[in-house]
Amino acid sequence: MLDIALIREKPDWVKERLARLNDAEAVARIDTIVALDKQRRALLTEAEALQAARNKLNKNVGALRGSKKLDEAGKAVQAAAAVQAIDAGDYDAAARYMTGETVASGTGAADSLDTLMAALRALGERVETLNDEVKGVEAQLDEAMFWLPNMPHDSVPVFPSDEHNKPWPAEGQMPEFDFQPRPHWELGPALGIIDFERGVKLAGSRGYVLKGWGARLQRALISFFLDMAREKGFEELYVPYFVKEDMMFGAGQFPKFRDVVYFDADADVYMLPTAEVAITNLHRDEILDEAQLPLYYVAHTPCFRREKMSAGRDVRGIKRLHQFEKVEMYKFTTPETSYAELEALVEAASDICRALKIPFRRLEIVTGDLGFSASKKYDVEMYAPGCNEWLEVSSCSNTEDFQARRSNIKYRGGESKRPQFVHTLNGSGLATPRVIIAILENYQQADGSVRIPDVLRPYLGGAEVISARG
């Protein structure tokens, strides 16, 4: 969510930023938002003035009805005058007649008090009508605001699409083979550690089963990832794998990416497409102390994605799946430190690649490929020689206060008066089974066996090689 006040004050500046995303729809939305905001405030002024009048008159009517100074005839006279004032729109005068502060002249009919009640009822109904109008406009405004993507940081290269994402120089030793390296979709089944046929039998397209060393390798990786993060100060979390709808809005998945998630209509909950959704909302509706920041969290969860948009793409192997495992690192920070924290986050992901001794590179994401929530984003890609691809194993983003606004997460600074929004960052550290692809393809040997990276051996009982013999 962007700041409505910023849009109100500098619509053209915001448009220019959004234009960098190559998202014409987002830019066009600004005019709609400005108009709705204006309409909302005009209605609100009117509604609140009337509401204030109603509150005051309702309070005074009790005083009039219960007045000991006035007899019935006297009350009728005051009531009649009050009704006249209300009809004329002079609510202050009406209030004074009702308290007896202004003594009315003339006569009052016997039913003047009833007439006054009716006038108050009518006033109440007008307030309700106006409030409904305000709510209607607010709903439209919220809808428009929720569809608006985040603005790119000034440092993000301005290009229209992912073809222009800027790779940094690769790090690590590129593997050299004296044989033709095989892709993982051959190695896995040959080793008996990936079973595609039975996976599809169980779950349909993109289903897979990891067996034996495949399953153990994944479990080892997850433990290793969590340990790496913990050593860097991330607190480990175990979170729900499904969340309520508001959480999906809070993290920026909804409304735009509604069709990528699995939904339990009966319980009205959504399966996580990433742990980021759960962790973002961990501190929803909270005001944190500045002294608590930065907060570092890490969680391992499965991730469920329908991959509707990419039906037919990457159907081979275990690169793009409906279900995969990911260790997610997450930070809540102050605005001052979030960009330094982003660099540290990418380094944390890179350190895992270094420890596994797999060649990797950082990809600087351009404006046209930033996604919905990020202000700035880096991907980390591992090289896979078998399929000759760079595999995205991590994506690290600073969303600035975009998610914090949606989830209402603030902090109170030392001296500062008003709570302000935190910045949130997320980065995979890392995702599997993609890392399994990289291990199989980088560590394969001529006989089809695969060496186990040194750092994982302690997690696998000291084993050094995975071979078809088991």
* Residue 10 Cβ vs RNA, minimum distance, rounded to whole Å: 15
Three-state SS letters, 321-341: CCEEEEEEEEEEECCCCHHHH
Do 302 and 241 form a contact (C-beta atoms < 8 A)? yes
Cα torsion angle, 109, 113, 115, 116, sign? positive
Which residues are at the interface with RNA (CB under 7 A)? 4-5, 41, 44-45, 48-49, 51-52, 54-59, 61-62, 65, 117, 120-121, 124, 287, 410, 412, 418-419
Which residue, 380, 367, 373, is CA-closest to 434? Answer: 380
* Residue 61 Cβ vs RNA, minimum distance, rounded to whole Å: 4
* Residue 45 Cβ vs RNA, minimum distance, rounded to whole Å: 5
* Residue 147 Cβ vs RNA, minimum distance, rounded to whole Å: 19
Residue 314 falls in which region: left (phi positive, over 0), alpha (psi -120 to 50) or beta? left
The residue among 305 and 405 lying less far from RNA, judged by its C-beta, is 405
The residue among 59 and 198 lying less far from RNA, judged by its C-beta, is 59
* Residue 410 Cβ vs RNA, minimum distance, rounded to whole Å: 6
Q: Is 390 helix (H, G, I), strand (E, B) or coil?
A: strand
The residue among 85 and 387 lying less far from RNA, judged by its C-beta, is 85
State phi, psi for 241 to the nearest 5 degrees: -90, -5
The residue among 8 and 322 lying less far from RNA, judged by its C-beta, is 8
The residue among 148 and 436 lying less far from RNA, judged by its C-beta, is 148
Helices (H), 306-427: 338-356, 402-407
The residue among 41 and 198 lying less far from RNA, judged by its C-beta, is 41
Could you count the other beta carbons within 10 Å of the beta carbon of residue 301?
A: 23
In this structure, are strands 376-384 and 360-364 parallel, antiparallel, or unpaired?
Answer: antiparallel
Residue 44, preceding peptide bond in cis (omega within 30° of 0):
no
Name the packing angle between helices 112-146 and 24-65 (round to 10°).
160
* Residue 449 Cβ vs RNA, minimum distance, rounded to whole Å: 37
Do 450 and 191 form a contact (C-beta atoms < 8 A)? yes
The residue among 268 and 343 lying less far from RNA, judged by its C-beta, is 268
DSSP 162: G
